[in-house]
């Protein structure tokens, strides 16, 4: 799983869309989906983690955990 997929998983559990997160945090449209192939800026990742009520570490662990099982 990519970092984007980890964010999407947590967002779905919180009944939030990626679009809504980007809008609420004033991120450019599609910026989170780019995390599928690149590493995000630290401040953007922290803002998303705070918004979702998790830590950045949790998102990285979730992304890594799913990669092991694929």
CATH number where 31 lies: 1.10.260
pLDDT higher than 60, residue 68? no
Residues in Cβ contact with 61 at an 8 Å cutoff, skipping those fewer than 6 apart: none
C-alpha span between 13 and 28 (Å, rounded): 23
Check residue 69 and give its pLDDT: 52
Q: How far is CA 16 from CA 7, 22, 35, 51, 69, in A?
A: 10, 10, 17, 10, 25
Q: Please, what is the Cα angle at 65 between 42 and 20, to 5 degrees?
A: 50
Q: Which helix (H) or strand (E) holds 34?
A: none
pLDDT higher than 90, residue 10? yes
Q: Please tell me the total count of domains within the chain.
A: 1
Check residue 3 and give its pLDDT: 94
């Amino acid at each position: 799983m990519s970092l984007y997929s980890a964010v999407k998983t947590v967002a779905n559990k919180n009944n939030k869309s990626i679009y809504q997160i980007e809008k609420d945090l004033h991120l450019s449209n599609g910026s989170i989906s780019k995390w599928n192939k690149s590493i995000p800026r630290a401040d953007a990742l922290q803002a998303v983690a705070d918004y979702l009520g998790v830590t950045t570490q949790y998102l990285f662990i979730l992304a890594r955990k799913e990669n092991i099982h694929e």
